[in-house]
Amino acid sequence: MTSLKRLNTCDAETFTEILHGLYEHSPWIPQRAAAQRPFRTIDELKLGLQKVVTDANNDEQLGLIRAHPELAGKAAVAGELTPESTGEQAKAGLNLCTKEEFSALQELNGAYNSKFGFPFILAVKGGDGKGLSRQAIIAAFRRRLRNQAGDEQREALRQIHRIAEMRLNALLSYVPHMGRDIIEWAEEIGAMSEDEQGLTCTYMTQTHRRTANQLAKWMREAGMHAHIDAVGNVVGRYLSTDPQARTLLTGSHYDTVRNGGKYDGRQGILTAIAVVKHLHETGETLPFHLEVIGFAEEEGVRFKSTFLGSSAVIGQFDPKLLDLRDRDGQLLRDVLTDADHDVNAIADIARDPADLLGFVEVHIEQGPVLLERGLPVGVVTSIAGSKRYLVELKGVASHAGTTPMPMRKDAAAAAAEIILFVEQRCALDQDSALVGTVGQLQVPNGSTNVIPGACTLSLDIRAANNAARDAAVDDILAHIEKVCEKRHITVSIEQTVAADCAPCAPRLMEQLAAAVERNGIPAFQLASGAGHDAMLMSRVTDVAMLFTRCGNGGISHNPLETMTDDDADLSARILLSFLRNYT
Ligand SMILES: [Zn+2]
């Protein structure tokens, strides 16, 4: 049987011979990777092979892509595939296509080939290794046909790396057990939804409560004491043998946006459950109590108020929120009472900060940074806080035909200048992960033949630190004044949100980075542009976050959000290693 040890100690020729089937007809990849040995872990070996491809020239990369067969293509019909490809395509049921599906695939193959000049490549075994459905394959095919050429070439290479990863796992008889559990559990609770299609799990609905009960059940099975608290947080405790020990918190949220992804939030809870299950099975305890929290509400969908779960844990749940109503007019207070929760007990949820060692959250990245860098995980440096504004521009709505260009007071043209400035200014400070967005833009009562007399736009500016964000805000607000003065536009600016950035604690970041490196992965650091429960938790304790790569171009808050079992497994092993070595 092949082992990592054998691969590290054999001669380069044998190494290439053993691994030649990982990358289709491309022995140069293991050949060049041999020089990087020894590899400490399978994950490091995977990255080593991927690095060879990344460092190769464009012709070599294209050669690798073109060495792959078309999906259910001519080669498959003629039985000319490599044994690896035959097995994978058969597993996806591509040999069982209906006539319509087969001809759809042929047509897509043709269109794809003529647009990109290489065959469509998809790891048809999917994120969980069980195989994508033919419908999912055809949908992915159609989606990717719309990509730009450069993006698609990189996506093809990522799919090839995923295929190689699964082939390597099989070769080394390596099974990502914790990752498989996490993906399977995410599927199971992902199937509970308020909508028939897609995943919607908003606060205190029947779906939401079923999900909570399921999480509590898994926590108990994993060896935790579990309960659901007064706001619906699912809390599992894995006790230390030292009753005096303090508590380390981990977890994330289980509510979703409408038609959301299966991993946003939930991955952080399920990862912790998988890790505790592993500890429990091996009879291992920790020198501190480990508390896994499934936060009931983070997204703010149903009652338009975010972080209901974590605000209660830090003792900052505002009782006024109980008077909020959902879109059907139901009071939050009534919804909780109907679900047998005691609203008077919410204040008791608050943790004593003196008992806390910190909070560590594992979360899907929800963006393309790790994916583009070819890294499975990253250590978060800071959670960006946004400043948001509503900008109202007032010009003069005069006749589009009779008003000469120099005599106009066009509010939309002013808005256009402002938007471009936001884009240019925010591009200047990528070290601070500065981003600026105008997501809403309206010309109220606009008409084809009238110069826009008014224009409203939203402004959202975020960065990894308050100073960088505020410097950009100052420049943008000054520029708005300048543009409006020049164009004789009246402007009013209202601040709607001002949230502070939440820097991660260096001591926890360092320990998390060390755990990443122990697994053979470089500890890449990145800021979080999205808000997370860790942001609230940072008000009472030290926080750290581990991001896991998000597939499909980094899309999230969308049913296309995806993650592989290998990445989920690696994230779990990193959390496990972090806990075991925590000081
Ligand atoms: Zn989330």
pLDDT digits (tens, 9 = 90+) for 379-400: 999 999 899 999 999 999 999 9
The predicted complex's ipTM stands at 0.97
Average pLDDT over residues 207-213: 98
pLDDT for res 101: 84
Average pLDDT over residues 222-249: 97
pLDDT for res 1: 74
**CA–centroid distance, residue 265 to ligand 1 (Å):** 4
**CA–centroid distance, residue 190 to ligand 1 (Å):** 14
pLDDT digits (tens, 9 = 90+) for 3-26: 999 999 999 999 999 999 999 999
Q: Which CATH number fits domain 4-171: 3.40.50.2300, 1.10.3330.10, 3.90.226.10, 3.20.20.140?
A: 1.10.3330.10
**CA–centroid distance, residue 156 to ligand 1 (Å):** 28
**CA–centroid distance, residue 390 to ligand 1 (Å):** 25
**CA–centroid distance, residue 389 to ligand 1 (Å):** 23
Per the listing, tokens 């697994």 go with 519
- Cβ of 426: how many Cβ atoms within 10 Å? 23
**CA–centroid distance, residue 301 to ligand 1 (Å):** 12
- DSSP class of residue 450 equals B
**CA–centroid distance, residue 189 to ligand 1 (Å):** 15
Least confident of 130-144, 231-245, 410-424, 531-545: 130-144
pLDDT for res 354: 97
Cα–Cα separations (whole angstroms), residue 364 to 265, 376, 474:
7, 10, 32
Q: What is the DSSP string of 366-419?
A: -SSHHHHHT-SEEEEEEE-EEEEEEEEEE----BTTTS-GGG---HHHHHHHHH
In the chain, CATH 1.10.3330.10 covers 4-171
**CA–centroid distance, residue 256 to ligand 1 (Å):** 8
**CA–centroid distance, residue 270 to ligand 1 (Å):** 13
- What the block records as the tokens of 406 is 């120099």
pLDDT digits (tens, 9 = 90+) for 45-101: 999 999 999 999 999 999 999 999 888 765 565 566 777 777 777 666 777 778 888
pLDDT for res 419: 98
Please give the CATH topology (third level) of the domain spanning 178-307+353-375+508-580: Aminopeptidase (3.40.630)
pLDDT for res 26: 95
Scanning 56-98, the segments in alpha helix (DSSP H) are 58-66, 74-78, 83-91
**CA–centroid distance, residue 529 to ligand 1 (Å):** 12
Average pLDDT over residues 344-355: 97
pLDDT digits (tens, 9 = 90+) for 363-376: 999 999 999 999 99
**CA–centroid distance, residue 363 to ligand 1 (Å):** 7
**CA–centroid distance, residue 303 to ligand 1 (Å):** 17
In the chain, CATH 3.40.630.10 covers 178-307+353-375+508-580
pLDDT for res 434: 96
Mean pLDDT (the chain) is 95
Burial of 374 (0-12, 13-18, 19+ CB in 10 A): middle
**CA–centroid distance, residue 364 to ligand 1 (Å):** 8
% residues pLDDT > 70 (the chain): 98
pLDDT digits (tens, 9 = 90+) for 539-571: 999 999 999 999 999 999 999 999 999 999 999
pLDDT for res 89: 72
Please, are residues 570 and 43 in contact by the beta-carbon 8 Å criterion? yes
User: What span, in angstroms and rounded, lies between the C-alpha atoms of 500 and 497?
Assistant: 10
Partners of 498 in the β-ladder: 387
Is the pLDDT at 485 greater than 90, yes or no?
Answer: yes
Please, are residues 533 and 298 in contact by the beta-carbon 8 Å criterion? yes
CA atoms within 13 A on the CB side of 158: 24
Is the pLDDT at 490 greater than 60, yes or no?
Answer: yes
**CA–centroid distance, residue 532 to ligand 1 (Å):** 6
**CA–centroid distance, residue 530 to ligand 1 (Å):** 8
- Which of left, alpha, beta for 142 (phi over 0: left; psi -120 to 50: alpha)? alpha
pLDDT digits (tens, 9 = 90+) for 125-176: 888 888 888 888 889 999 999 999 999 999 999 999 999 999 999 999 999 9
More confident residue, 89 or 180: 180
Which H or E run includes 463?
A: strand 454-463
Query: Quick one: pLDDT band at residue 238, thresholds 50, 70, 90?
Result: very high
**CA–centroid distance, residue 453 to ligand 1 (Å):** 40
pLDDT for res 88: 74
Is the pLDDT at 444 greater than 70, yes or no?
Answer: yes
Strand ranges for 103-243 from DSSP E? 225-228, 234-238
Least confident of 84-93, 193-202, 293-302, 542-551: 84-93
Please give the CATH topology (third level) of the domain spanning 385-500: Alpha-Beta Plaits (3.30.70)
Please, are residues 463 and 384 in contact by the beta-carbon 8 Å criterion? yes
Burial of 437 (0-12, 13-18, 19+ CB in 10 A): middle
**CA–centroid distance, residue 263 to ligand 1 (Å):** 8
